[in-house]
Structure 1
Amino acid sequence: MFDTLKAELKLKWRQYLAASFASYGSLCTGMSMGWTSPVFPHLRSDHSPLPREPTLSEESWIGSLLVLGGLLGPLITVPLSRHIGRRWIIMGSNLPLLLGWLLAGVAADLPTLYAARIMWGCATGMQFAMVPLYIGEIAEDKNRGALSALFLLFINVGFLLAYAIGPFSSYWGLTATGGILSLVYLPCTWLIPETPFFLVYKGKTEEASQVLQKLRGTSKAGVQAELEGLQAVVAREFKEEPSIKDLWATRGQVKALGICVFLAMLLQLSGIDVLLFYMEELLVKVGTRISASDGTIIMGVVQVVTSCVTPLVVDRLGRKLLMWTTSLGLAIFLGIIGVYALLDSHYKYNVEPYAFIPLLCLIVYMVLFTLGVGPVPWILVAEMFPVKTKCLASGIASFMCWLAGFVWTRFFREVAASYGIYTAFWILAACCALGFAFSASPLLPETKGKTFDEIQDMLNNNNRSKEPDPVDV
């Protein structure tokens, strides 16, 4: 397996490089998302930039406003995507990203900190809506899943950096580090090419051919069939301007939209943002005996290591298998944490001999999430829709993902305070159990290694056999 991967990397390294440069921004936004976990103790200390310690409600707003800002991303990317291109939108995400770090660095009151979180959320929403789409358009069928998984890998590296640096630096040290790393994203986005599809859409056929030659590591003749496939798709799909009505033009499109929206919301309802934003606090509340800072670093390392494995398995095991197995595992281990917290905090049972259980369950949670529930929804968005509606679908799925995330991150701590932390974890477990039932059912098709037309046949319940198109768009 590793020899095959090595040979593929040697031939297709430019695809991996372009996908990595585009995904690097998610490292910066991952750091901004994980920023709250180590920063909340700083905001409660004598070295806080704020004039007073924030209340529980204010801390919840600090955490959740990033997710609320994420709703702005699709609203920006969808109208602009067919006019200025994928590359320029990815470059544009630098503006709110850097502005957020600047505002956080100079913040002396809560409104400024709120504004910083909204700016980070806007950048994150833009990247979530556009980077997976970009990667899907530069990738080949056989390595589309592996390249798409790079996006999640960089996010998790960002979380690890926040968890590793935050407890051992000041508020300003962590914030300055995030700002400096975000500055590196500027040259990265200048170096990525525009996608071949968008160039063909704009009539720049020769430039599209040159980009394809570089990405595929082959000659002009070697990419001619793929180029002609792109031209045929543009001619067929873009006789009229895309509209929202196109998303329910066929039964298959309605089904694809329902699948992707549900899985994108499940991604948030599984509690990932809650756990990542409030990791240190939750490790204390569920009764683990390891220090909160050490626990968060361990979790960050687990995320990164698992993210390195994800590209190796996502195109081998398939999307459906990964979704139902990982969502089932999340439900089980979140439920176990809830039982542990109930015995510890409510019944005051002596759980000292089992103090390793919460951290162990959270580690397994991170492994499973990173392998399936995290990356698969965005891979499916890139695979299930025709190019005419792919950006619209990506924007809607991203919008619903952030909406679900905002509601949960805003009210999770209130639920935990009113009904017990165990109740909050059981709600997360129930959401994951629902995701398991959906993923294991025939409603979710397997798209591994299939062309767009083959996927559409499955979604429309067509049984006809068809030769794959020369390119999957």
Structure 2
Amino acid sequence: MFDIFLKDIKLKWRQYLYASLASYGSLCTGMSMGWTSPALPQLRSNNSPLPREPTLQQESWIGSLLVLGGLLGPLITVPLLNRIGRRWIIMVSNIPLLLGWLLAGVATDLSTIYAARIMWGCATGMQFATVPLYIGEIAEDKIRGSLSSLFLLFINVGFLLAYSIGPFSTYWGLTATGGILSLFYIPCTWIIPETPFFSVYKGRIEEASQVLQELRGTSKDAVQAELEGLQAIIAREFKVEPSVKDLWATKGNLKALGICVFLAMLLQLSGIDVLLFYMEELLIKVGTKMSPSDGTIIMGVVQVVTSFITPLVVDRLGRKLLMWTTSLGLTIFLGIIGIYALLDSHYHYNVESWAFLPLLCLIVYMILFTLGVGPVPWILVAEMFPVRTKCLASGIASFMCWLAGFIWTRFFRDVAASYGIYTAFWILSVCCGFGFIFSVSPLLPETKGKTFDEIQDMLNNRTKQPNPEPV
């Protein structure tokens, strides 16, 4: 068995390497997303780069503008994905990423910080729309889910770095660290190859063959069948230029779009960005007695550890099972936090003996989100759509994800201030409850281990005709 494992690693290690190098940018954007949790207290301190302490509304804009900037990502990537390729868009995402760190580092007023957040959001949106697509096109079917999970792993490492460095550093130290780490993404993006699919699409057949040989660790003859399959798909799907109408041209496409848009919006409506952006503040508001900085570090560690587990289970347990179990868990534990906050902040019950409960629930929340609700929508985007519509679908799902995230991160604190933090958590719980109902229904098919044609048969309700037996 060990020999089989070593042989498998020898054949597939390049796929893991290139998926990791492409995903490294999400570490940098994850750090920019988690930057608000330790940075907002520093902006209120005497060592703040700002001339005066920001108001609650201004802090909400600092948090939400990154998500608003994320809306720019799909608008940039969708028109260019089939023109310049996946690799070049991933490389271009370095520009707003580094510009954001530069602006944050020299900021002396709110407008500069706002601009930095928008730049980070633009880079994040570009990566969310491109990197999962890139990974899906270089991966073999059997490890596609595992490789796609690496994207979320690197995001969580970025959050952990922000949570770990921020409380023990100055505003400028935290920002400089993020900028330096982002510089390393430049060589990462130069090393990765273009996907075989895009090379074939552009008529560079020999280049595609060489990349396939490298990715699969096999000979030219061994990848010939896969190469011919790509050529056949492109010849069939790209007789004319793709258009938005293709997304509803078939029942399967329309159903896939609805599934992926709903789950991408659920990802944000579950409150993940709210929790990650304002982690220190929320730990204080829900009544936990642990130091906010210690609590955020614990949360970051939990995210990263769980992210290592996700690739091991996503291709074994299946997408549907992970979605309904994790969304059910989020519904329950977010509801419990709301009840605790109601008893503590509204009714002023003595909950001293249960002070550990909010942090425990948030830890379980992070575990469940990282296992299911977080990675599954992007895995499904890469799996469900024909190659003709995949770029458009990825962009639309990403756009709707960021739109939902912007609305919620912008107004979450207003809801909490006006109606109580418990009300805000109950709204999150209800959203996850809708996700559970959707996930257990027949609307969400299981795609684990299935080929694209098998997935399309399910979406279009087609049944395979049995081959006639020889007479």
TM-score norm. by structure 1 comes to: 0.98
C-alpha contact 2:78 2:391 (8 A) present in aligned 1:
yes
Q: 1:312 to 1:5 in 2, by over 3 A?
A: farther
The 2-side partners of 1:272 and 1:446 are apart by 24
Matched residue, 2:267: 267
Alignment of 1:133-172 (within 5 A): 133-172=133-172
- Measure how far apart 1:463 and its partner are: 1.5
The 1-side partners of 2:133 and 2:311 are apart by 17
The 2-side partners of 1:362 and 1:465 are apart by 49
Query: Any idea what the Cα deviations from partners look like across 1:315-365, whole Å, max 9, x if unmatched?
Result: 000000000000000000000000000000000000000000000000000
The 1-side partners of 2:192 and 2:448 are apart by 26
The 1-side partners of 2:8 and 2:51 are apart by 55
Query: Any idea what the Cα deviations from partners look like across 1:386-430, whole Å, max 9, x if unmatched?
Result: 111000000000000000000000000000000000000000000
Matched residue, 2:294: 294
Task: Tell me the SS of whatever aligns to 1:401.
Answer: helix
The 1-side partners of 2:389 and 2:77 are apart by 13
Query: Any idea what the Cα deviations from partners look like across 1:230-281, whole Å, max 9, x if unmatched?
Result: 0000100000001000000100000000000000000000000000000000
C-alpha contact 2:319 2:372 (8 A) present in aligned 1:
yes
Alignment of 1:12-411 (within 5 A): 12-411=12-411
- Measure how far apart 1:11 and its partner are: 1.6
Which AA in structure 2 matches 1:445?
Answer: P
The 2-side partners of 1:435 and 1:96 are apart by 33
C-alpha contact 1:454 1:466 (8 A) present in aligned 2:
no
Query: Any idea what the Cα deviations from partners look like across 1:135-155, whole Å, max 9, x if unmatched?
Result: 000000000000000000000
Alignment of 1:3-14 (within 5 A): 7-14=7-14
Q: 1:368 to 1:4 in 2, by over 3 A?
A: farther
Task: Tell me the SS of whatever aligns to 2:184.
Answer: helix
Which AA in structure 2 matches 1:336?
Answer: I
Which AA in structure 2 matches 1:115?
Answer: A
The 2-side partners of 1:360 and 1:85 are apart by 44
C-alpha contact 2:153 2:304 (8 A) present in aligned 1:
yes
C-alpha contact 1:318 1:447 (8 A) present in aligned 2:
yes
Q: Within the alignment, does 1:415 sit opposite 2:415 as a pair?
A: yes
Task: Tell me the SS of whatever aligns to 1:242.
Answer: coil
Q: 1:63 to 1:349 in 2, by over 3 A?
A: same
The 2-side partners of 1:321 and 1:463 are apart by 23
Which AA in structure 1 matches 2:150?
Answer: L
The 1-side partners of 2:166 and 2:83 are apart by 40
Q: 1:5 to 1:321 in 2, by over 3 A?
A: farther
C-alpha contact 2:318 2:448 (8 A) present in aligned 1:
yes
| Percent of paired sites with the same residue | 84
The 2-side partners of 1:223 and 1:351 are apart by 63
Q: 1:308 to 1:60 in 2, by over 3 A?
A: same
Q: 1:465 to 1:148 in 2, by over 3 A?
A: farther
Q: 1:210 to 1:252 in 2, by over 3 A?
A: same
The 1-side partners of 2:130 and 2:411 are apart by 28
The 1-side partners of 2:271 and 2:379 are apart by 20
- Measure how far apart 1:7 and its partner are: 4.2
Which AA in structure 1 matches 2:37?
Answer: S
- Measure how far apart 1:465 and its partner are: 4.9
* Residue segments in structure 1 that go unaligned for 5+ positions in a row: 468-473
C-alpha contact 1:145 1:311 (8 A) present in aligned 2:
yes
Which AA in structure 2 matches 1:211?
Answer: V
- Measure how far apart 1:2 and its partner are: 8.5
Q: 1:102 to 1:263 in 2, by over 3 A?
A: same
Q: 1:118 to 1:445 in 2, by over 3 A?
A: same
Q: 1:48 to 1:6 in 2, by over 3 A?
A: farther
Query: Any idea what the Cα deviations from partners look like across 1:143-174, whole Å, max 9, x if unmatched?
Result: 00000000000000000000000000000000
Matched residue, 1:471: none
- Measure how far apart 1:10 and its partner are: 2.4
C-alpha contact 1:281 1:292 (8 A) present in aligned 2:
yes
Give the CA RMSD over aligned residues. Answer: 1.1
The 2-side partners of 1:211 and 1:114 are apart by 41
Matched residue, 2:464: 464
- Measure how far apart 1:464 and its partner are: 1.4
The 2-side partners of 1:287 and 1:341 are apart by 7
Which AA in structure 2 matches 1:37?
Answer: S
Which AA in structure 2 matches 1:297?
Answer: I
C-alpha contact 2:10 2:217 (8 A) present in aligned 1:
no
TM-score norm. by structure 2 comes to: 0.98
Q: 1:116 to 1:389 in 2, by over 3 A?
A: same
Task: Tell me the SS of whatever aligns to 2:289.
Answer: coil
The 1-side partners of 2:258 and 2:32 are apart by 30
The 1-side partners of 2:402 and 2:296 are apart by 23
C-alpha contact 1:167 1:293 (8 A) present in aligned 2:
yes
Query: Any idea what the Cα deviations from partners look like across 1:420-446, whole Å, max 9, x if unmatched?
Result: 000000000000000000000000000
The 2-side partners of 1:179 and 1:230 are apart by 39
How many residues align? The count is 467
The 1-side partners of 2:301 and 2:5 are apart by 23
The 1-side partners of 2:196 and 2:466 are apart by 25
Query: Any idea what the Cα deviations from partners look like across 1:268-322, whole Å, max 9, x if unmatched?
Result: 0000000000000000000000000000000000000000000000000000000
- Measure how far apart 1:8 and its partner are: 2.5
